[in-house]
Amino acid sequence: MTPMSCMAESPKPSRAAFPSLWDLLNDEAHRQIAVAAVGITALVVLSANFPKLELELVLALTVAVGYAVRQAHQKPSTVKHPKGSPAGAKKSRHPLLREVNKTRSKDRAAVPARQAAALQERFRTTVRPVAPPTFAASGWEAEVDELSKKIARTSEVDGLVQGVVSSARAAIQLVIPEAEILGFASGNPMFNKAFAMAVPEIHIVMKASSAVLLRRLESRFTRGGSINYRPDGKKLQKCAIRTCTEQLVSEAGFKFRRSAFVGDDPKVCLLVPPTVLGLCSDSIAIDFSVNSEIPLRSDNIMLECNSRDPRAEPLMLLVRRWARDRGIAHTTKGHLSTYAWNLLTVFFLQVAPTSDSSLGPIGEEPLAKREAECSSQKSVAALFEELVAFYSRDFNWQTEGISVRLGRRAPARVSSNSRFIAAEDGSTELRPSIEDPFEVKV
């Protein structure tokens, strides 16, 4: 075989073995090397033409060119997906892995349904019926008498209220020194009962004038050093409640439970831990409000009626306890307030045919004082039975109104057309007409 034949038989190099300049520039690594080469050439030219070139500029260009060359020779990093991940699973063609991925996709789709079912089951299991109280006595009369003694206000309850008032005063007067703190108890908060957090037995009221509140809370209504707007009475009252709540939580150690700003009597519910007072083993729920007159009015009516008839206060507490345990004393749900239940009880003692109480008309202010003049003494249990029968059968809610100021049955002062309210199902309901003796407009 001649050399010429060997040369003829040798394969010719393909065109792909000699890439063009455009192909090299399309490659990222070669493109960065080309940029680095151009940078080095420019640096050499500048150094030759400008010998007095600043040393800092030369160093900066050198560092830039070196970094470009290093990036060009560095291998591109690849993102590694963990085993079992969707990205890694898509690249695999194994049938078993494809089945596993399908199962995982179904599981991920079923997660929201399982979470919803678990949430529904959790709420279903936590709802428990109200357990009836246990009594040592037997019989209706004896059990009601025992319950009345347990829910009555005692000197121990008064000491607990004073302790809460002292803690609240020390915290609130840090921001409002002129504040006056009042405490009222409408029952025994240490006696276990249903809905203890929904309807607290202790009411704390902070009293301060609007001028004092506006001056002390001025920073909340200012922007840029000037007063942005002048709040009205309700907004100022709610702002004061928020400010005092922050102080009670941060300084006094109270715990925020919920707010109830809907209605004419805005307030918040707080929990007083046992470590704050040291007088009880459980947390005590309290209602806190600013410049509210309802707790004071309810306390005055209860004291006044009890001075006329010693059975009035136990009957009021029993009715309140019954309404609370039946879940019909929550004002946030549109129910009657505990103050309204007190007025219903007093009105029954005044006008019911079967009542033997000597309660007469209660004036606006001051409340008239007189001694109890009960001829015959029915028990509190008997009066409670008669009260339920009176309002369920005898009293006409459509046309009659509750007025302890008059102390007699009379037509409602407000027309029935203005007492219709919309119910949740779209229908209309007629709300009862209950007159507050302290807010009578003649």
pLDDT of residue 370: 44
Strand partners, 255: 271
Q: Which of these, 193, 435, 229, lies nearest to 324 by C-alpha position? A: 193
Walk along the chain (442 residues) in steps of 10 and give the mean pLDDT of each run: 46 49 54 64 64 60 68 54 47 56 62 60 52 82 91 89 94 95 89 62 94 87 60 86 94 91 87 81 89 92 88 93 86 85 94 79 52 63 94 91 90 66 68 85 52
Crossing angle for the helix pair 380-389 and 140-151, to the nearest 10 degrees: 100
pLDDT of residue 330: 81
- On the 0-12 / 13-18 / 19+ scale of CB atoms within 10 A, 302 is buried
pLDDT of residue 135: 84
pLDDT of residue 243: 94
Q: Which of these, 207, 195, 158, 191, lies nearest to 333 by C-alpha position? A: 195
d(CA 192, CA 222) in angstroms, rounded, equals 46
Question: What number of CA atoms fall less than 13 Å from residue 395's CA on the CB side?
Answer: 25
Cβ atoms < 10 Å from Cβ of 162? 13
- On the 0-12 / 13-18 / 19+ scale of CB atoms within 10 A, 14 is exposed
8 residue type, one letter: A
Helices (H), 74-193: 86-91, 95-126, 140-151, 155-172
Is 230 within 8 Å of 248 (Cβ atoms)?
no
CA dihedral sign, ordered 344, 345, 351, 352: positive
pLDDT of residue 5: 46
CA dihedral sign, ordered 373, 378, 381, 386: negative
| C-beta contacts of 62-71 below 8 A and 24+ residues apart | 64/39, 65/36, 65/39, 65/40, 68/32, 68/35, 68/36, 68/39, 69/32, 69/33, 69/36, 71/32
Question: What number of CA atoms fall less than 13 Å from residue 174's CA on the CB side?
Answer: 15
Question: What number of CA atoms fall less than 13 Å from residue 27's CA on the CB side?
Answer: 13
Question: What number of CA atoms fall less than 13 Å from residue 376's CA on the CB side?
Answer: 6
Is 261 within 8 Å of 235 (Cβ atoms)?
no
pLDDT of residue 372: 43
pLDDT of residue 120: 57
pLDDT of residue 260: 86
